[in-house]
Amino acid sequence: MKHLLNTKDLRLDEALLILDTAEAMAETQSRQMKKLPALRGRTVVNLFFEDSTRTRISFEAAAKRLSADVINFSGKGSSVSKGESLKDTAQTLNAMGIDAVVIRHSASGAPQRLAETDWIDVPILNAGDGAHQHPTQALLDAFTMRRWLLGGGAAVPAGTDLAGKKVAIVGDILHSRVVRSNVDLLTTLGAEVTVVGPPTLMPVGAESWPATITYDLDGVIEDLDALMMLRVQYERMAGGGYFPSPAEYSRIYGLDADRLARLPEHAIVMHPGPMNRGLEISSEAADSVRSVVLDQVANGVYVRMAALYLLLASDEGSLS
């Protein structure tokens, strides 16, 4: 594999290679000297056409810890806002001699397009495209689950999968690339995935996903290993009408103190961020001992280091 575009096409051995490499990266990050020389002299472009805080910073930190040079490009304030096409932007970057592109775009399929055309001939890493995929998010989620469900929060042996683990992903399924990437990857890793949300936020075709679909959070909450709450993506809800009111949404699909108490004792609470506190997750849940939200953020750097390393630097370990 030359690119990281989605988790659907990731084979089990490839997924495990990324997760195991991320463990090796994590180990290096507890040293005082965090910088590794692997990508010295290489240039990674962060091409962000859509807003992002943690993903962009995380990719930047990952590339820099591997000694790459990083160019941050944001659609706003660039020639893209003057109407420059993805093709022209890609060709311009290609002419500048860069070594990898990390791209976030509001259009599903934009990273795939970059990978398929000859506009640019370097590894493409998808940092989120529309409501389609967000592979490094799913990988950092799986990394976090492996550690918390099988390693007591610490490193796990190479090759550890998530066989039989019960994961529920809850909320705004319709607009979420996180859920799509997670369903694909978690299934490959052997987990049993349940997708939960209001019927208005359940996409047509979800029945064909390798997951159980339900509208009843209370019906599944007592038998889970991990509960992943999704953000209600207001910015993709022009016109509204997806649910009667925020209070009503919280009452039926929010993780409040009562639901938190009904989770099995060992179960972890996850959220990809940014969180709408008080809507899909209460502060009590977000800040509870069960919450691994900040671990997810920390682990994101290790997973992105692994992805960049495998795509750019490793010969024998490359994802081919």
Q: Are 138 and 182 in contact (CB under 8 A)?
A: yes
**221: number of CA atoms within 13 Å, CB side?**
20
Beta strands in 184-275 (DSSP E): 192-196, 212-214, 226-229, 268-270
Tokens 């339900």, located at residue: 214
Which strands, in side-by-side order, build the sheet including 192-196?
A: 212-214, 192-196, 166-170, 226-229, 268-270
177 binds ligand ASP (CB under 6 A): yes
In the complex, least distance from residue 133 CB atom to ligand ASP, rounded to whole angstroms: 10
Closest CB to ligand ASP among residues 273, 317: 273
128 binds ligand ASP (CB under 6 A): yes
* Contact partners, residue 231, CB within 8 Å, separation at least 6: 171, 172, 176, 271, 272, 273, 274, 275, 276, 280
300 binds ligand ASP (CB under 6 A): no
Using CA atoms, how far apart are residues 5 and 16, in angstroms rounded to an integer?
A: 16
Phi-psi domain of 264 (left: phi exceeds 0; alpha: psi -120 through 50; beta: other): beta
In the complex, least distance from residue 233 CB atom to ligand ASP, rounded to whole angstroms: 6
Q: Which of residues 214-273 bind ligand ASP (CB under 6 A)?
A: 231, 233, 272-273
In the complex, least distance from residue 6 CB atom to ligand ASP, rounded to whole angstroms: 13
Task: Give me 108's structure tokens.
Answer: 């599903």
180 binds ligand ASP (CB under 6 A): no
Closest CB to ligand ASP among residues 279, 312: 279
Closest CB to ligand ASP among residues 156, 167: 167
Closest CB to ligand ASP among residues 137, 160: 137
113 binds ligand ASP (CB under 6 A): no
Using CA atoms, how far apart are residues 277 and 285, in angstroms rounded to an integer?
A: 9
In the complex, least distance from residue 91 CB atom to ligand ASP, rounded to whole angstroms: 26
304 binds ligand ASP (CB under 6 A): no
Using CA atoms, how far apart are residues 34 and 240, in angstroms rounded to an integer?
A: 46
171 binds ligand ASP (CB under 6 A): no
Q: Which residue is nearest to ligand ASP (CB)?
A: 231
178 binds ligand ASP (CB under 6 A): yes
Q: Which residues bind ligand ASP (CB under 6 A)?
A: 128, 134, 177-178, 231, 233, 272-273
